[in-house]
Structures are given as C-alpha cells and as structure tokens.
Structure 1
Amino acid sequence: MRVIRFADETSLPVLAALTDDNRIYALPQRDLMELVREAEELGVSPLALIEKEIAEGAAPVGVPLESLTLLTPLDAPEVWAAGVTYERSRDARNYEATGGKLDVATFYDKVYDAERPEIFFKSTAARTVGPGQDVCLRSDSSWQIPEPELGLVIGRNGNIVGYTAGNDMSCRDIEGENPLYLPQAKMWRRSCSIGPAVRLAETVADPYRFQIACRIYRNGELAVEGTASTGQLKRRFDELVSFLRRDNDIFDGTVLLTGTCIVPPNDFTLQDGDRIEIEISDIGVLSNTARKLVP
C-alpha cells in the first residue's frame, strides 16, 4: 500500500491510498502523519486503518494516476541526508576532493569506515518540491548532478513509517573544493524533491531489496542511466536513524535520505531543461526538470 497526495479541482491537497493494482481512494485525513497518529490512537497500524476506511466506503478516485497533479506525499518539516553510505559514493567524493587521484586516501575513506555516519541537513518543506515540479540548478556551480536516494519517513518516536524516493541535488565542484562548503553544495532553493508516494513500512518485507534507477533525458533523448540496490548499502537504516535522533529533536514526518549509489560520469553536469527520473521499485517514478536559477 502506498500513500499519495494530489491537488483537487480547487488546488487543495487530497490524501489518498494507492493500492498495488493502482486503484486510488481519497482518505479523510489531511496528511500522512495525521493518518499515522490516528492509527496510533486507535491501536491499529496505518495499513489497517486505510483498509478499514476503504471497506467503509472511502471515495474512489475516478481518474488514472497519470491524470492527477501529484504533490509531495507529505510536507516533511525537515529533510536530512546521509552521505558516503555506498562504496560508489565514497569513490565519487574522493574523485572530487583529489582532482581525480583515486589512489589518495581522504576523509571520505575515514567516514565510510567510521562508526559515526555522515548526516547533514538537506531541506525544509518550503525548499522541497514534488513530482513534476522543477528542481533548480545553482547559479555559482558548473558541475551539478542529481543523487537518487531512498528516503525514510520517520515518526515522532523515531519509527520508520514508510519509504519514498528522493533527489538530493548536489554541486560536485563546490563540495570538492572544500568540505566546509558542504551546506552550499547541498542546500539551496528547490534543491530537493521527494515522491511520488510513500510505501508504508509495514508492507515492505525487506527494505534492502529496493531497486533504484536514475535516468536523465536531454532534448528528449536518454543521456545518463544507472541502477543500484539498497542491498549495496554499507549502513543499516536503524543505524542512520539512531545517529540522526541522538541528542536531536526529530519532528513528526521528518525524511532521512539514505545516500546514493548512482553517480553520473565525471564529465557530466546537469543543464537547463534536463529531465530527471528516479524510479524505486514498489514506490514509483519521481520526475523533475532542472532549471537554471537566476542569481
């Protein structure tokens, strides 16, 4: 079972259940975390509450998913991200930091093997966009890429409520110039997207079997394609969540992006008009178009 949000004819957000056979049912709750809290109060799981509401006559949506104007599946108050959680990510960061000297050890090697993971603040609800919306290219960077990642939707008690797809837009040149520039390399207007749905955690037998694909189209033609699996992760999800929560206040519906294993070729940078597709099995396709920011 997946949960989505879409804009109705008056542009108001509607929460809906998306079944595995692509039937859509409008739900009475205003957002995902309201549904989760209501389920907790009733002593049932979110899936059980959704199934109950469908059985009791939740309104079916009479148009196909492709016809809906999808929104972010939730208004995540904060989006955090983990870095260097895959070997491919470590190698890419080393390439940036050393100018291509892959035989030189760096602090990225250290954090890859360290007990403490790299976790950084990525975005807020106001900076995060949903399916079909534009992501922005930073005006002072000439080497930018998307980073396709599985996102964990975290409840107020630190529990993983569900999984979504995320795009952690990154400036490789800014981060490679100096690690202290990481916030500028990662965080700017519309530098993050999530969606198109949240797969409820209780419906996922093994979260380390998600298949991830990234496709970048330029002038309508496929320019870059890559695939990966969450089974390639160096870190466990509960480990990442535990470090994020350590001495930290976590707001209901926080999203934690878990790192990328798909990195475009080193000579590739996003251009204005490129379309980015991030597909995660059993979640869906998150599609955004890159647009230049005007300084």
Structure 2
Amino acid sequence: MTEAIVPASGVLLGRARVPGFQFPRVVTVRDGVVYDITAKTAPTSRDVCEGADPAGYVKSAPGTAIGPLAQVLENSWAEKTDATQPSLLSPIDLQAVKASGVTFVVSLLERVIEEQARGDKSRADALRQDILTLVGTNLSDLVPGSPAAMKVKESLIAKGVWSQYLEVGIGPDAEIFTKCQPMSSVGYGADVGLHPVSSWNNPEPEVAVVVSSAGTIVGATLGNDVNLRDVEGRSALLLGKAKDNNASASLGPFIRLFDGEFTLETIKSAELTLKVEGEDGFVLDGHSNMSQISRTPESLVAATVGRHHQYPDGLVLYLGTMFAPVKDRDGVGKGFTHKLNDVVSISTPSLGTLSNRVRLSTECPPWTYGSSHLLRDLAKAELL
C-alpha cells in the first residue's frame, strides 16, 4: 500500500510533526521507516536543499526512527491525526513557493474560456467549441516566442480572439506567480482550502521542482495548485485571490532528491494521474503527461530565478498542468467544480501520491506558524 504513496526507492526528504518537539523535524524514509535527521548542520528542508550534495547528505545523515511509514502516512490525514503520534507536513519550509501558468495547450485554452465566460461556468461548454473553431491550429506544435508562434499571434489578433492567456501560452514570456508564502503550504493528508466566494473551481495536478538559491534543480515533488476558475475568469488581476488562500497550496508527500537513478529527465517524461472522489459518488479521472509541456522545466526556472530575481532560501516551482476538468457533474453542460469533502489524489510512480480532502479555506486549520516562529524555536533548541 505504501508503495503507491511513496516511491519504493529513491532519496526522500520531508518534514513531520514529532511529539516532544515544538517545531517541525526534517525526516527521510529508510526501509519502510521514517527517520528524524534534524541536525545543526541542516535543521530545515531549505538547508538540506542548499547543500552541495542534498541526496548524499540525506543518505548518510544519522537519524532516529520515529515510526513505520504506513503509520505516519495514516496519521497524516487531518481527520485521523493523533497529536501523540508523528504526522507528515509539507516537505518544504523556508523556500519561496512559485507557480507557472499556461504551460500546456489544454490549460491555455481553458484559461481563454474562463476569460471569455467572465467567470460564468454555464457558458463554458459553448465557448469551448467556438474558441477551438476560431483558433484553427494545433498550438501544441508551437514553440513559445518563436517566429511561427508570433505568426499565429498575429492571426488570432486579426480574428479577435487574442487574450492575455494566449500571450503567456505562446508568447516569449512565461507566467510566473507567487502561489503562497513560505511555511504556509500543506502536505499529504491535510485539508486543502477553497475560498468561500467560489462556485467554479478545480484541482491542478502538477510536478513541482525544488530549486536552490543558485538556480539548480535539486529534486521534485507533487503539487495541487488549487484554483478558483470563476475568480480568475472575472479578471486576471484577481490571480492572487484565485490562487493564494489558506491551505490552497499542497505539496508532497516527500521531495525526491536527484541522484543517479532519479533525474530531471525522469520528470520530463512523467505521467501524472488525477482522481477526484466525491461523497456524491462522482469520480473524475484525468491524466497529464509532462512530455507535452510547452516550456521546459529549465526555461521556467530560468524565468524565475537569476540575475533579474534572487531567492536566497531557494524556491519550489509548480510547473503547470495540462489537465483542465470539464466532465459534467451536476447536469449537462455544467462542467466540473469541487464539492466539499472531495478527496483529490495526484500520482506518478517516481514521486508517489499526494492526497488531500477539500474544505473551505475558512474551515481549514489557520496558518499560524511562520518563518519567525521556526527560527525562534530552532534557536531555542540550539540548532542555529
């Protein structure tokens, strides 16, 4: 069972609540057991990822067993958590959390539909057909920013269907935005939050790469970039409201660090599966293949960090999704939207499975433990 949630091999880095400690502990998995490897040399996930050889450090770090992996995973579900037992948290801490948008053609077209619908999901189905007819070309063959892409841009402007989403989808510049603040992402088994104003929303299953302050990709994890389609559809200037809410960024279950077996090429060929299971019996299945991304992970990282913008604590970057759910849930033409208590599971063999239950952001546990709290606690424990 745990093999489906956590890869059977690889160097894994995570964080956990451990009884007896006031602050999150840095953990790894060895032979089906979770080990606490917190040390003065690397008391945070950020410190491990900033090291010269993160995978080598985690492999050789001394550790203390805190419990069988299966038990820790079970105790990580929000409704089952026993505070006297260890449970997983998001595997990152002080890193910035960024996301890239409109990196797959399917996602691109759905963003145009949101914009044209002005947040009204009842108009989406008809608009989808109209826009596909107007576009009249296979956008997946275009290299963003290329001369061919610019010709398509000119053609679409002439047809009156150009939009800000097509600009970042096939134009020269990628869309990079802040998904949430450091320390505010949630992990495996946690509740994920929808802003109460939204009535049209969806999960976004993604690979997220972990990047050092030097701009080096050191590993990857799974992410759910929870999205409010109606809010962003009303105006792209509402992106912050659509994307950054309490418990709206999920990552995990672990970071898998790059080593000889797991590399960036593994990520580039990964196939993600999505399952949404509702209390109403509704089941949604989807797939997203990283080979169809229109901008490479390296180019997205380069657009985020470099001489133009620095991240001294490193960052995590959601790479975008090709999956835009359109399966009707409450009637013909009404498309998909979440219902409370949906269980969302995002999987790929090399990274495992990230699962969360959907609630309102106002009902999820409030984010109260920030970077200042962590640093104070580490100082008290003489780990700084």
> So what's the TM-score if we normalise by structure 1?
0.88
Give the corresponding residue for 2:359: 291
Give the corresponding residue for 1:219: 279
Rounded to whole Å, the distance in 2 between the matches of 1:220 and 1:176 is 27
CA gap 1:154/1:108 in 2 versus in 1, 3 angstroms: same
Rounded to whole Å, the distance in 2 between the matches of 1:159 and 1:120 is 19
Give the corresponding residue for 2:45: 32
**How do residues 1-295 of structure 1 correspond to structure 2 at under 5 angstroms?**
1-10=11-20, 12-19=23-30, 22-29=32-39, 30-37=43-50, 39-40=51-52, 45-53=53-61, 58-68=63-73, 69-99=87-117, 100=127, 101-102=130-131, 103=134, 104-202=161-259, 203-205=261-263, 206=265, 207-219=267-279, 221=281, 223-246=283-306, 247-265=308-326, 267-294=335-362
Count matched residues: 286
CA gap 1:253/1:280 in 2 versus in 1, 3 angstroms: farther
Whether the 8 Å CA contact 1:127–1:188 is kept in 2: the answer is: no
The one-letter code matched in structure 2 to 1:235 is: R
Whether the 8 Å CA contact 1:76–1:255 is kept in 2: the answer is: no
DSSP-derived class of the 2:309 partner: coil
> So what's the TM-score if we normalise by structure 2?
0.69
Cα distance, 1:245 vs structure 2: 1.6
* Higher Cα Rg, which structure: 2
Rounded to whole Å, the distance in 2 between the matches of 1:97 and 1:35 is 41
Q: Deviations over 1:225-262 (max 9, x none)?
A: 11112111111111111111242221324111110111
Q: Deviations over 1:41-72 (max 9, x none)?
A: xxxx222223333xxx6334541334341111
The one-letter code matched in structure 2 to 1:14 is: R
The CA RMSD measured in Å over matched residues stands at 2.2
Rounded to whole Å, the distance in 1 between the matches of 2:283 and 2:32 is 30
Cα distance, 1:269 vs structure 2: 0.7
Rounded to whole Å, the distance in 2 between the matches of 1:177 and 1:222 is 27
Rounded to whole Å, the distance in 2 between the matches of 1:293 and 1:237 is 30
CA gap 1:261/1:271 in 2 versus in 1, 3 angstroms: same
DSSP-derived class of the 1:251 partner: coil
Q: Deviations over 1:195-226 (max 9, x none)?
A: 11001023423120222111111117452111
Cα distance, 1:145 vs structure 2: 0.7
- Report % sequence identity: 29
Whether the 8 Å CA contact 2:221–2:255 is kept in 1: the answer is: yes
Rounded to whole Å, the distance in 2 between the matches of 1:181 and 1:239 is 26
CA gap 1:36/1:110 in 2 versus in 1, 3 angstroms: closer
The one-letter code matched in structure 2 to 1:237 is: P
